[in-house]
């Protein structure tokens, strides 16, 4: 059953952050969506400036990409990170670390790395973010398999509807390896973030839950990173990058989240 127009959740996109291999920021992602342009010499891994250099080197890819895009979105929105409640959405967390933990526990339990154990929890990126920014606002870590991004977006929009002025949404996944990779497949590193506000000059989203899970064909970004578990978010980013009026996300096994997108009247180059 779909919601009525009057019940639909709304939000404005005030800031965007994006990172995947070959596209290290949102400007690069927009250029790729428009004409297939790739960035020469793009870094193989994010280097989030929120972390001290030694922590930056040790942070797993999942944390690095989440912090990179989160900070980029806040800067794009010109909103102080420490003022924002946040939602961190990841399909699997860090499957590389999870696989390491399972294998080590099965073969040599006393050899578990304390650092990897520390980074194995699903809310690791959220923890690094709140500590690094000094943010004491509420943060949520969410996972809902291939509906993770849609459910994270709904959570952020519900917080706006409940009174928050702005919310940070961060979505990310990394590659799976080992035995876990045979049952939970994901390739590469992908992350994106949105600062969502109740009012603003950015693109306006109106979200409506619908029965049925029929999705549109993937756009340029969706085809580029289709093997990453968080490719589920890319219909929205393709739509915003190309100026499309609508995107549909998987919201569960029997439902979808339809997003009507109203472009701002004036954009800044």
pLDDT score of 146 more than 90: yes
Question: What pLDDT sits at residue 265?
Answer: 65
Which option is the CATH number for 5-262: 3.30.750.24, 3.30.565.10, 1.10.3210.10, 3.40.47.10?
Answer: 3.40.47.10
Mean pLDDT of the chain, nearest integer? 92
What residues does 209 pair with on adjacent strands? Answer: 257
Coil vs helix vs strand at 10: strand
Which pTM does this prediction carry?
0.93
Name the residue ranges covered by the structural domains of the chain: 5-262
Question: What pLDDT sits at residue 131?
Answer: 93
Beta strands (DSSP E) in 187-266 are: 190-197, 204-211, 246-252, 255-262
What gap in Å lies between CA 24 and CA 44, rounded to an integer? 9
Residue 36 backbone class (left: φ over 0; alpha: ψ -120 to 50; beta: rest): left
For residue 213, CA distances in Å to 80, 146, 179, 210, 227 come to 37, 11, 29, 8, 19
> Which one is predicted more confidently, 119 or 163?
163
pLDDT score of 268 more than 80: no
pLDDT score of 269 more than 60: no
Residue range 184-203: mean pLDDT, rounded: 95
What gap in Å lies between CA 49 and CA 56, rounded to an integer? 8
């Amino acid at each position: 059953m779909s919601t009525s127009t009057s019940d639909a959740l709304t939000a404005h996109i005030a800031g965007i952050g994006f990172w995947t291999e070959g596209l290290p920021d949102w400007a690069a992602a927009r250029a790729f969506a428009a004409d297939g342009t790739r960035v020469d010499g793009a870094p193989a891994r994010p280097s989030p400036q929120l972390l001290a250099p030694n922590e930056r080197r040790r942070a797993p890819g999942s944390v690095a990409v989440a912090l990179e895009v989160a900070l980029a979105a806040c800067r794009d929105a010109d909103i102080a990170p420490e003022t924002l409640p946040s939602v961190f959405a990841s399909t699997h967390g860090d499957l590389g670390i999870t696989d390491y933990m399972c294998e080590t526990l099965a073969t040599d339990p006393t050899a578990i790395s304390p650092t990897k154990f520390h980074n194995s929890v699903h809310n690791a990126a959220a923890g690094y973010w709140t500590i690094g920014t000094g943010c004491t606002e509420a943060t949520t870590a969410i996972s809902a398999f291939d509906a993770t991004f849609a459910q994270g977006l709904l959570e952020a929009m519900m917080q706006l509807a409940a009174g928050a002025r702005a919310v940070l949404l961060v979505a990310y996944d990394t590659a799976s390896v080992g035995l876990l990779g045979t049952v939970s497949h994901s390739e590469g590193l992908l992350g994106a973030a949105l600062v969502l506000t109740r009012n603003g000059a950015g693109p306006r989203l109106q979200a409506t839950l619908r029965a049925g899970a029929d999705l549109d064909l993937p756009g340029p970004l969706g085809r580029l990173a289709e093997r990453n578990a968080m490719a589920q978010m890319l219909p929205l980013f393709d739509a915003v990058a190309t100026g499309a009026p609508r995107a549909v996300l998987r919201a569960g096994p029997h439902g979808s989240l339809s997003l009507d997108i109203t472009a701002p009247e004036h954009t800044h180059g």
